Every structure is written in structure tokens, then in C-alpha cells.
Amino acid sequence: MLPADYISSGLTEAYALGLTNPQETAEMEAAMLQYPEVAAEVEAIRSALEGYARAHSQAPPANLKNKILARMQAAADEAKLKSVSDTGQAEPANTVPAGLITNIPQDGQAKKTETPAFISSNGGMPPTQAAATEGAKVRSINAPAIPPVTTETSFLPLLIAASVLLMLSLGTNLYLYSSLGTAQQQLAEASKRNSVLAQENDVHLTNFHSAEAEISRAHRQMAMINDMETKKIKLAGFPVSPTSAVMVYYNPKVHKAMLNVMSLPEVGPEEDYQLWAMVDGKPMDMGVIHADHDMHEMDIPPTIKAEAFAITMEKKGGSPVPTLTKIYVMGKVS
């Protein structure tokens, strides 16, 4: 929309009346930022409306003023007390004596003066406090009208400055103390994180070492398989388990064999598979093997020359002689 559109749309009035929804409010505020003429229009409408509101002014009953001021004072004291107790520092609240509220001049008197009620109704204040307040703050509001009130109170600025510095210092201490707490907490968290990381690192290191071992084992096995002297023997399934198959890599020169179990039925808890080497037509115990699919490495006694290999299922721990009815696989060394 163009500035003129905002102005003629009725949105300007609605906004100045405080009746726009959040979306319209955002739209108007953006338009006011963008177009000074829209902002000026809103300001003019607002000012006219304020005049309209003031035209309806009615003085509230005189006794209401003390009541309201007392309640506002109480609320302010409560807020101050709260902020003071938060700092753990007992500072006497610099409140106006109750006398002030009852000593306020009649409204008429207060209003006739050119200066706002601010000053004229100061009458009930103790002189030092009134001077302090006027000297420090109020004068800026009514600069033209009020003569400076500083003659007999030259130590007051120092006092005020000292109080301000004290408060600042207390505030800083509080801030630093809470920062220290935060820092300590962060440190504790960081060292906790650190030990967690160290543990993780240990795990990674272990994994790394086992991976390394895995690789070197794979290299060794590969070397063995690729060795010219290594014989590759397929042990085929027997009637007990026709689909079973085990590959044996046998190297008579280095007296080693590797078993790769392709397929063997799971053994029960009371059973084990046992490898036998046929030497001169007799089975020789080569030990118990585990029917997993990993390469199973074993040493073969250097004195023997295996003609065939067989695997039987035996009782747990193996048997001195093979159970012939339980030969699962067998294959000849070619």
C-alpha cells in the first residue's frame, strides 16, 4: 500500500484508537517506519483523541488520591524490598514518610501553579529529602521553573555518589559471584564430558586394535591360501548330513591347516565337532573345532602326512576315537 492508502483505509484511525489486531498493528508499525507521513498522521490522530479524552476529564473525589498513592507506594516498597533482599543486602528503603501523603495540598492549590504538581505537592517532604530529590532528579523535568536547591546540602551529591558507587559495587560483586558459580559449574561439566570422551576413546582404541588384528589375520590367511604348497580340500557331506560342506586348506610344508565351515548343523550343548586326519588309513585326533563360519586355524603335527580329513560329531570335549556313524563330512587330500 502507498502512504495515502494507509491514511485513507481507516487503518490509521483503528491503530490510533488501539483497536487493531496484532497483524494490523505490525503492518501499521512497519508502514510508520517506512513512511514518515503515515507516522505523522497517526501522531496527529492520537493527539486529537487525547484531547478528546481530556475533554471528558472529571476530577476524582479528593480522598481517592491518598488511597491510590498509598497503594502505589506500598507496591513500590514491596518491589524495592524484593530487589534488596535478592541482593542479600539490607538497605533501608528510601521511602517517603507517610506524612507526605496526608500533607498534600488541596488539589486546587496544586493545580493553579504553573509548575506541575510534582513540585508544589512536595511541601510535606522533609527538607533534606525534598532537596535531594529535587536537586538530583526533579529539576530536569521542570528546569525553567525551579531555582537550584543546593545551598546547605553540598555534601549530598557526595552522599548520593557514594551510595550509587556502593550499589554498583554490590551489583558487580553479585554478578561476579554468580559468574564464578556458573564458571565452576561449566568446569565440572567440561571435566565430566572429558572423562566420557576418554572412555569413548578407549573403546575406539580397542576397536581399532581388534580391527588391526583382524586385518593381519586376514593377511596371514590370504597368504596361506595363496601359497603354492597349500592344498584345497573340499570335505563333502555324508549321509547323516548330505548338504554339509567344509573347506580345508592344508599346507604340509608349514604343518598348518585352516578350516572354513561352509555348512554344518548346529551342535547341541553336549556335543562338539572333532577333526580327524587320516594317516595311513587310521584316524588321528586333530582336536575339537567350532562350527562357526570363521576360518578355523590349526597346527598339524609335522610328523604326519594327512591323506584325508573328516569331521565327526562327538560328545563335548571330543573322543579318543571317531564315532563312525556320525561322520558329517569327509574329503581326500589330492
Site residues (CB under 8 A) for another protein?
8-10, 13-14, 16-19, 29, 44-62, 64-65, 67-69, 71-73, 75-77, 79-80, 95-96, 100, 104, 106-108, 110-112, 114-118, 121-122, 133, 137-138, 140-142
Task: Identify which of residues 90 and 324 has a Cβ nearer to another protein in the complex.
Answer: 90
Q: Give the 3-state secondary structure of residue 323.
A: coil
Task: Identify which of residues 125 and 330 has a Cβ nearer to another protein in the complex.
Answer: 125
Cβ at position 55, least distance to another protein in Å: 4
Task: Identify which of residues 132 and 311 has a Cβ nearer to another protein in the complex.
Answer: 132
Task: Identify which of residues 105 and 252 has a Cβ nearer to another protein in the complex.
Answer: 105
Cβ at position 164, least distance to another protein in Å: 12
DSSP 1-40: --HHHHHHSSHHHHHHTT---HHHHHHHHHHHHH-HHHHH
Cβ at position 51, least distance to another protein in Å: 5
φ, ψ for residue 327 (rounded to 5)? Answer: -80, 125
Task: Identify which of residues 29 and 297 has a Cβ nearer to another protein in the complex.
Answer: 29
Cβ at position 157, least distance to another protein in Å: 18
Q: Give the 3-state secondary structure of residue 251.
A: strand
Q: Give the 3-state secondary structure of residue 172.
A: helix
Count of beta carbons in the 10 Å neighbourhood of residue 225: 15
CB 228 within 8 A of CB 249: no
Q: Give the 3-state secondary structure of residue 262.
A: strand
**C-alpha torsion angle, residues 215, 216, 222, 224 (rounded to 10):** -160
Q: Give the 3-state secondary structure of residue 234.
A: strand
Task: Identify which of residues 72 and 196 has a Cβ nearer to another protein in the complex.
Answer: 72
Torsional sign, CA 72, 76, 82, 85? negative
Cβ at position 20, least distance to another protein in Å: 8
Task: Identify which of residues 113 and 169 has a Cβ nearer to another protein in the complex.
Answer: 113
Cβ at position 70, least distance to another protein in Å: 10
Cβ at position 178, least distance to another protein in Å: 22
Cross-strand bridge partners of residue 247: 234, 260
Task: Write the secondary structure of 63-76 as one string of H (helix), E (strand) and C (coil).
Answer: HHHHHHHHHHHHHH
Which DSSP letter does residue 123 get?
A: G
